[in-house]
Structure 1
Amino acid sequence: MSSKNLLVELFVEELPPKALKKLGEVFAATLATSLKTTGLAASTAAVTAYASPRRLAAHVTEVAAVAADKPVVQKLMPVAVGLDAAGNATPALLKKLAALGADASCVPNLRRENDGKADVLFYESLAKGATLSEGLQKALEAALAALPIPKVMTYQLQDGWSSVNFVRPAHGLVALHGSDIVPLAILGLNSGRETHGHRFEAVVDPVVFAHADEYATKLATDGAVIASFAERRAEIARQLEAAAAKAGGKPIDDDALLDEVTALVERPNVLIGQFEEEFLAVPQECLILTMKANQKYFPLLDAAGKLTNKFLVVSNISPEDASAVIGGNERVVRPRLADAKFFFDQDRKKSLESRVIGLSKVVYHNKLGTQGDRVNRVTTIVDAITSLLARAEKHYDLLPQGPQIEENHPELSKTWKASRTASLLAKADLLTDMVGEFPELQGIMGRYYALHDGLSAEIADAIEDHYKPRFAGDSLPRGVVGTIAALADKLETLVGMFGIGQIPTGDRDPFALRRHALGVIRMLSENNLPIGLDHLLYQAEFAFMNIDGFKSNPAQLADFIYDRLAGSLREQGYSAQEVDAVVSQRPQRLGDIPKRLAAVRAFSALPEAAALAAANKRVGNILKKAEGTVEPTVDNALLKEAPEIALHDALVDVVPQADAAFVTGDYAESLQALAALRAPVDAFFDGVMVNADDPALRANRLGLLAKLHVAMNKVADISKLSA
């Protein structure tokens, strides 16, 4: 059957820019999938999506005018119900056939097949293929229904009575199969071959398509529109680089901004603007954000990454003299920058410390109090973290409130004091005008104001960094002070929310607890902090003891963190078996986990690994079925059989080696030492009855297996490696 290429375009008023890229992709993909499902489009059909501020379109190759007929097999009823003793159709069968448009003449041709219970009658027929008009109508309706529309609007049609719901008012519909119009009707529109190009620069209006394949070319030449989102984006990127080179700088790298600007223009034209250099006295993050967020400009940076007083504008028009467009944009941005300068100047009139008291009036959570209460809890957790670090470093006499901190441990004391100061001031910039206008700058502005107040760079950096890591792949806090402040802040959120029952379920995570958990994992692991996770969570809970309704829940929170850890490790390329083997043991020092995983991977490559993993699994099952708790102790006098004596002797030799390597952190050596146990373990299971009739003998053999189990599972649960 011959096929032609298909074009469908929906012409609308300006679509939401942040959603346009996704709208275009979903529109084209859903349309094509629906056509392929109905057999109108070949499975190899190529789909091209188009999306501009005023149109969604799709071009699909190899589309038939009529889909091929399809064989249909329908189950009718058991033979015993459909046919009588003489083999004639029963009234029930005739009624069923009539409903399908058949009669008694087809009874001899009914297929008989056993469905596992009885012989059943099946009716085979051909379903007539859908016409393109029918199939495309359904495909278009499905495509519109599938659009991820942020917000629907209701508008009246031209008749003045009817109304429809869509993301924006639609004003035109094109549907061409080759050069033929496919009759469609949707959103009060009938399909044709006409559309409209650029609002101001179209050469011809309306733009008329003679064939589906000339869509992009004719829209560009007659309509002055680059219909493809990807091509328009690439053209903007090219012009940005060229204009930046001309201006002696480089445009800021921001994919989200580039996508948004691509969704705002149909014929991009990049222009260079500038502002007064006096505004550069304002922190560049403020100026960059106001230009990006409010004006959709691309700020220009110099070779060192410092903001210049020039910016790039992506205009939707290309006049011969662009000075008026440039001047207009310069006039528009100036008040925005002046506002930023005013906020910055006003904010610096008050110190961060003077703002802290105001946090007691800012509600954090109705069950957890104010931001002021939260700051107090965070500083308490800072004390706990510092104490745990001190103990890990064998400074047992150091407690954060102890009188001999400065005398005995000046460096750690300095770190503790800086961390407390940073945590106390970390939320103060929430009360500044700049952060009130641009919440994205919280922490960043705190750093600038801290430096202005004369605080050390270490404390200022920690104020900014206590939010880190903000997202996957974000950098970790700089230095130990920032790490302690960030760790305390995230723990306060996690412990507090779990304590009041705000635990993530499914896709719901309004307090970003999964992200906070991953932040805790990364800081503990990548900084190799000598702190046990259970101790850390237990100590953090003391900050919440005076909260009504708070319920201690460290075990559940630990489970949550280990689950996040396991998922993160799998995403990093470790196998599920490797991850389960290590994480199931719940290592307290998260910094040890990469070494444990490497050790497990090396152990898995040993020829003895599979047998030992299977044996370990068998030992675990035996111990689970044993009555009561089995202690890993052995009475040498009760070792009767040669294989159990040999296993015990092997453990006496191997365990000290494995334990010594474990203590020094050489996990690979610790696991590899276990390879010597393969032969005695195999011999034990071949020649010894564990569940002996003699209770003393049975208990001793279980104790021997418990000792083996402990030895084999210090680094990881190697039973997880068994197939």
Structure 2
Amino acid sequence: MSHAAKSLLVELLVEELPPKSLKQLGESFGALMFEGLQKLHNLDGNAQLTTFASPRRLAAHITDVPERAVQKPRKVKLLPVSVGIGADGEYTQAFRKKLQQTCDYPDEISPSVLGERISREFDGKAEFLFHTDVSAGFPLAVNLQQVLHALITKLPVAKMMTYQLADGWNSASFVRPVHGLVALHGAEILPMVEVLGLTAGNKTRGHRFEASVNPIVLRDADSYAQQLATEGAVIASFGARRAEIMKQLAVATAGEGLKFAEDEALLEEVTALVERPNVLVGEFDAAFLEIPQECLILTMKANQKHFPLLDVNGKLTNKFLIVSNIRPSDASQIVGGNERVLRSRLADAKFFFDQDRKKTLYSRVAGLDKVVYHNRLGTQAERVERIWAITQAIGLQLGSNELAAHAGEAAMLSKADLLTGMVGEFPELQGIMGRCYAQHDGLADDIAYAIEDHYKPRYAGDELPRNIAGVCVALADKMETLVGMFGIGQIPTGDKDPYALRRHALGVTRMLIEKRLEISLEDMIGISRGAFNNKINFGNTESHQLLDFIYERTSSHLREQGYSVQQIEAVIAKRPQFLNEIPQRLAAIRAFSALPEAGSLASANKRVGNILKKVGSKIGGPVNVALLQEPAEQALHAVLTMVMPKAEAAFKLGEFSSALQELAALKMPVDAFFDNVMVNTEDAALRANRLALLAQLQQAMNRVADISKLAI
């Protein structure tokens, strides 16, 4: 049998897979197989992975796979020499037992074998005994069997299906029932490979309706994609299928002189729903265009998986694109069927829209007292009252009585659209419908847009509210949620965050930083806590927890913006109450880091911090100049006295870079101090005075950021 490397193909033929997770399933299927074979030394160094995923198949193609795993040296750490070798210089019974258990040795171990394979090595702490051997290279079929069984349990599947196998007795579990298994190494079938009650073969199936041959007999691993395309009418590659859909969408759109509403999530989902895409143009009654286009677009995308067509100004037209899974010579029936179904959905939307407009938003506010928000936090009406109070207070801090009044009006109406038929049918439209109905009621645009925008940012990277009134309501909405949930102990743990508190905290961070808002975190927490009127238990502990939570989200956000971890930690360590200052502080730290004195000052600052930490709260009082005996401490005090006022003045003006630049003058006297002055002298008065000097130094150096975090 030849040991030459050949391509490997493995395919699971399944019932229709969940479209929203198909791409991830396909990528994970291939990646887990590749990693598994790699760990078993069953891949050539040039091996390349290609994944395939269609509604009815998961497959992976790997090049340069040898028939047998490469033999590799294996080193196993056993016991410390002190335990493994006795006083007589012989291996102990404990060592022999460990060797039998760990390396599968027989009871009688040959001394010559031990001499060849046992070595003594220092691991950094102690001298250990190691065993080195060459692991046997198993055949590909054996390794693949092991890898497949493992990866089936590791795939990112939210919930497995248990189904009955063809024998009628046994069952298996997978994301969907599996009906076929292909395992080809070159042209050779690997019949030893069995998984989910199936034995590997070389046959698969193509398109349910348009395959020219079924089943398809695969010639070899490399012909998989080509045979599926020509004989099975299937584009097996997720990426190739997506590209084909994009190409057809562009051609169809150009033919209409329009543009389609781009939506990455919809494109991914449609790619996962078809095996042979065919883009067609549909049309609906133009009378439906009186409905807000957000409603129509959501209906087309979410319910029908259609791509709405827009004119050059971004306004919705009455045409849309269908991605069909079949290519008949006459597509009129497909188009007509899609148009009929969409017409029914749009008629429902029109009915809700017409009915909703018969009542004003103001008239709906009273009904919120019958809608439970949270069993421990009351109704939506109570929540709106809190949001209104917080909004007004924030508005007064950020602007004027007029801003507070406008923002307060938007806050009072912010949840009214939850009681409309349209939002009841399409919850994703909350806020959007509030804006539409507010404009219909004749309210000012800034109030209407604030109602829509108070949910923003809805996700990472989403836009922020368009006007300052919207910012006030958005901050109030998020702070009310954060304070309320922390007040009843609903703090996110691990990956669980049912109330999206991380998203709310990130939204607060982004608005304060990007809108450069002059309002402190402590003020917003205090305002929000007051709005609950002792309904929750929110004291200093909860306040500290919430501040920590917001700073964590701020750090994560800044890392995504490209700032270094050290620089972020230096700024966040100071827990700046005004987050709008953070970009300037980071810019100052970045400029300071470029100074030749920066490294030395950061290290000195860290040393100062360690010294002061040991004495804790014992430091106090000003520096007594009369007790400064050493020339080095006198020089440090003199330079510090000169630098501190300049740095403090720059800090108060918000000129953080200038404040840090002033510190460069401290390098030489600080170095000289540590070289020539003993801080922990036996004289208590001198020691206390030198600690006071260091405390003053630390305060001056860490005004903008904790520069000790920059120490390497």
Query: Is TM more than 0.5 here?
Result: yes
Which of 375, 382, 398 matches 1:389?
Answer: 398
| TM-superposed deviation, 1:696 | 4.2
Deviations 1:62-99 (A, max 9, x none): 12223344555678888998999898999996998799
Partner residue, 1:563: 552
Give the distance between the partners of 2:247 and 2:630, measured in 1 at CA: 81
Report the RMSD for the aligned CA atoms in angstroms: 2.8
Q: Secondary structure at the match of 1:110?
A: helix
Give the distance between the partners of 1:91 and 1:489, measured in 2 at CA: 66
Partner residue, 2:670: 681
Query: Which consecutive residues of structure 2, in runs of 5 or more, have no partner in the other structure?
Result: none
Superposition map of 1:468-483 within 5 A? 468-483=456-471
Q: Secondary structure at the match of 1:510?
A: coil
Partner residue, 2:454: 466
Which of 54, 65, 76 matches 2:56?
Answer: 54
Which of 34, 37, 43 matches 1:35?
Answer: 37
| TM-superposed deviation, 1:138 | 1.8
Partner residue, 2:114: 110
Please say which of residues 280-289 and 124-133 is displaced more in the overlay.
124-133
Partner residue, 1:453: 441
1:235–1:686 CA distance, 2 compared to 1 (3 A): same
The answer on whether the counterparts of 1:196 and 1:207 sit within 8 Å (CA) in structure 2 is yes
Which of 394, 401, 404 matches 1:413?
Answer: 401
Q: Partner letter of residue 588 of structure 1?
A: Q
Superposition map of 1:130-209 within 5 A? 130-183=138-191, 184-209=193-218
Give the distance between the partners of 2:412 and 2:596, measured in 1 at CA: 56
Partner residue, 2:584: 595
1:624–1:550 CA distance, 2 compared to 1 (3 A): closer
Which of 244, 252, 257 matches 1:248?
Answer: 257
Deviations 1:469-521 (A, max 9, x none): 11111111111101110001110011111111111112121111111111111
Give the distance between the partners of 1:92 and 1:277, measured in 2 at CA: 85
Verify: 1:290 aligned to 2:306, yes or no: no
Verify: 1:428 aligned to 2:436, yes or no: no
Give the distance between the partners of 1:45 and 1:113, measured in 2 at CA: 34
Q: Secondary structure at the match of 1:300?
A: strand
1:27–1:647 CA distance, 2 compared to 1 (3 A): closer
Verify: 1:522 aligned to 2:510, yes or no: yes
The answer on whether the counterparts of 1:9 and 1:57 sit within 8 Å (CA) in structure 2 is yes
Which of 317, 335, 340 matches 2:349?
Answer: 340
| TM-superposed deviation, 1:705 | 2.9
Verify: 1:495 aligned to 2:501, yes or no: no
Give the distance between the partners of 1:319 and 1:629, measured in 2 at CA: 87
Q: Secondary structure at the match of 1:155?
A: strand
Please say which of residues 347-356 and 95-104 is displaced more in the overlay.
95-104
| TM-superposed deviation, 1:383 | 2.7
Partner residue, 2:641: 652
Partner residue, 1:409: none
| TM-superposed deviation, 1:254 | 0.7
The answer on whether the counterparts of 1:566 and 1:579 sit within 8 Å (CA) in structure 2 is yes
Verify: 1:19 aligned to 2:21, yes or no: yes
Query: Which consecutive residues of structure 1, in runs of 5 or more, have no partner in the other structure?
Result: 391-411
Give the distance between the partners of 2:169 and 2:128, measured in 1 at CA: 58
Q: Partner letter of residue 500 of structure 1?
A: I
1:181–1:696 CA distance, 2 compared to 1 (3 A): closer
Q: Secondary structure at the match of 2:321?
A: strand
1:20–1:96 CA distance, 2 compared to 1 (3 A): closer
1:655–1:195 CA distance, 2 compared to 1 (3 A): same
Superposition map of 1:291-310 within 5 A? 291-310=300-319
| TM-superposed deviation, 1:236 | 0.3
Q: Secondary structure at the match of 2:166?
A: coil
| TM-superposed deviation, 1:660 | 1.8
Deviations 1:43-73 (A, max 9, x none): 3211111111111111111122233445556
Partner residue, 2:704: 715
Partner residue, 2:520: 532
Which of 338, 348, 363 matches 1:354?
Answer: 363
Give the distance between the partners of 1:88 and 1:581, measured in 2 at CA: 54
Q: Partner letter of residue 618 of structure 1?
A: R
Which of 282, 290, 313 matches 1:281?
Answer: 290
Partner residue, 1:405: none
Deviations 1:520-579 (A, max 9, x none): 111111122111221221222111223155555222211211122122222222222211
Deviations 1:332-356 (A, max 9, x none): 1100011111111111111111111
Partner residue, 1:271: 280
Q: Secondary structure at the match of 1:350?
A: coil
Give the distance between the partners of 2:303 and 2:22, measured in 1 at CA: 19
1:282–1:94 CA distance, 2 compared to 1 (3 A): closer
The answer on whether the counterparts of 2:84 and 2:92 sit within 8 Å (CA) in structure 1 is no
Please say which of residues 23-32 and 61-70 is displaced more in the overlay.
61-70
Query: TM-score, normalised to structure 1's length?
Result: 0.91
Partner residue, 2:386: 377
Q: Partner letter of residue 339 of structure 1?
A: D
| TM-superposed deviation, 1:608 | 2.1
Give the distance between the partners of 1:601 and 1:86, measured in 2 at CA: 60
1:606–1:277 CA distance, 2 compared to 1 (3 A): same
Verify: 1:219 aligned to 2:203, yes or no: no
Q: Secondary structure at the match of 1:562?
A: helix
The answer on whether the counterparts of 2:84 and 2:91 sit within 8 Å (CA) in structure 1 is no
The answer on whether the counterparts of 1:476 and 1:523 sit within 8 Å (CA) in structure 2 is yes
Give the distance between the partners of 1:490 and 1:206, measured in 2 at CA: 56
Deviations 1:120-153 (A, max 9, x none): 695x665442222222222222232222223322
Which of 652, 668, 672 matches 2:661?
Answer: 672
Query: TM-score, normalised to structure 2's length?
Result: 0.92
Q: Partner letter of residue 113 of structure 1?
A: S
| TM-superposed deviation, 1:682 | 3.0
The answer on whether the counterparts of 2:218 and 2:227 sit within 8 Å (CA) in structure 1 is yes
1:244–1:631 CA distance, 2 compared to 1 (3 A): same
| TM-superposed deviation, 1:433 | 0.9
Give the distance between the partners of 1:716 and 1:81, measured in 2 at CA: 53
The answer on whether the counterparts of 2:78 and 2:98 sit within 8 Å (CA) in structure 1 is no
Q: Secondary structure at the match of 1:501?
A: coil
Give the distance between the partners of 1:242 and 1:14, measured in 2 at CA: 29
| TM-superposed deviation, 1:424 | 0.7
Partner residue, 2:594: 605
